[in-house]
Chain A
Amino acid sequence: MKKYLIIIIISIIALTSCTKEQRRFKLTVEEASKQAVDQAYVLSPQLLADILYSGSDLATYKFIDLRNPSKFENGHIEGAINIPFRTMNKNNNCKTFIDQGRVNIIYGESTEQAIFAGFFLQQLGVKNYFIILGSYDFIKNNIIDNYNIYSAHYNPEIVQYDYAKIVSETSGAQNYSAKTKKPTGTATFKRKKKSAAGGGCD
């Protein structure tokens, strides 16, 4: 009798822990794609500079460096901890990200990496994080070492050129701006014109 009870208790514990252990996406793909354009999780360079220079809020913020340990050793934001991107899903690291006690500020070796990490957390329903756009090198050169007026407005997604103008202002071989409505890449079959039957006398 006791045996069975023990077995049952153990198996119930095992089963429930199994389901809790697996982390799931809180957002479906549809929801995630609707929220993807949201820039709320991006830490502006200005705010980053404030945090770095004032230093007062450091207790509430935690910098997380997603690069490889070797790069991390060569230099990182002061007080940052190193969680290489590929180990993000390991259990202990997951807890670091989910920890509600503070705000995580995530950066990586490229903007892309930071966005991958940020969007991943967004889909898991984690809310207490920011990502920094720009690679570590960019942060180092333009915010930590030499803060200038341009660093404050850094956002790679902003249109930096008037594409259509660049294309159309020049007399290139082809002009692809939408206004001119040139045929696009998809091959259109050109109908061969049959030469009209020559009439009569030659």
Chain B
Amino acid sequence: MNKISILFVVLLVIGAFGVFIIDSTQKEPFEKVQPCDLIDIISQTNKYVTTDELARKMMSDDPTIMLIDLRTKTEFEKYSLSGAINIPLENLADKQYKEVLDQDVRTIILYSNSSDLAVKAWMLTSRLTYKNIYILKGGLNRWVETILKPKEPKETALRTEFEMYSFRKAASYYFGGGSTVGETVIKKKTSLPIKRKKKSAAGGGCD
């Protein structure tokens, strides 16, 4: 009797190991984020940055932000936000970009033409448990609509909307789209690009 029970226990242990082995033959056995967790992560974390927030940060020369352009190389070369790094979505999981993305010092902001690619990229990075990653809500299309070509609010609009508008106007001028009709009298609060002071050339000889 005793022998039999020992045998059973041994069998059980072997069985348990067997299950464990089957388990670990999966493609990524030690993947930290399981499907169930991923849904929770997505629905619980704050993952968006609005175009206004980004504009504010860029205008104050915030050194902690890092922009990542997920579009193709050709699109990136045509136009990109200043300082952005191009990582096409297909190459996001490549090893060469791991160091760029896997860090917790800077705030990474993902963008594409809208938020579509950024949403997918965000999902992949959260599967890889990368931190500090945000999506530019609305992407470049909204960047144009709100920052480069802001619409003037109606006269009946709230004061906050006007304040928002005047900020956007200033931003639009800063980022170079500031031609939209009727120059309004908005004082720019933000720092203008610093003009290099030309030092007067050292007077060479005797004049």
State how many angstroms separate the Cβ of A58 from the closest Cβ of chain B: 28
User: How many Å lie between the Cα of A173 and that of B175 in the bound state?
Assistant: 7
**Given that A19-B19, A25-B35, A172-B177 are contacting pairs, would A200 and B206 also be in contact in the complex, using a CB cutoff of 8 Å?**
yes
CB distance from A159 to the nearest CB of B (A): 5
Asked whether A147 is an interface residue with its Cβ less than 8 Å from the other chain, the reply is: no
Residue of B5, B39, B127, B202 near A4 (CB, 8 A) is: B5
A177 and B26 contacting across the interface, CB-CB below 8 Å:
no
- Name which residue of chain B comes closest to A11, CB basis: B12
Number of A-B residue pairs having CB atoms within 8 Å of each other in the complex: 214
The distance in angstroms between the C-alpha atoms of A167 and B31, with both chains bound, is: 44
B61 interface residue per 8 A CB criterion: yes
Contact residues, A1-59 vs B (CB, 8 A): 1, 4, 7-8, 11-12, 15-16, 18-19, 22-25, 28-30, 32-34, 36-37
Interface footprint category on A: 35 or more
Q: Pick the 4 closest A-B CB pairs, nearest first.
A: A185-B83, A172-B176, A170-B179, A156-B114
Spell out B's residues near A (CB within 8 Å).
1, 4-5, 8, 11-12, 15-16, 19, 22-23, 26-28, 31, 34-36, 38-40, 42-44, 58, 61, 63, 67, 75-84, 89-93, 112-117, 119-121, 123-124, 127-128, 135, 137, 139-141, 144, 148-149, 172-179, 192-193, 196, 199, 201-206
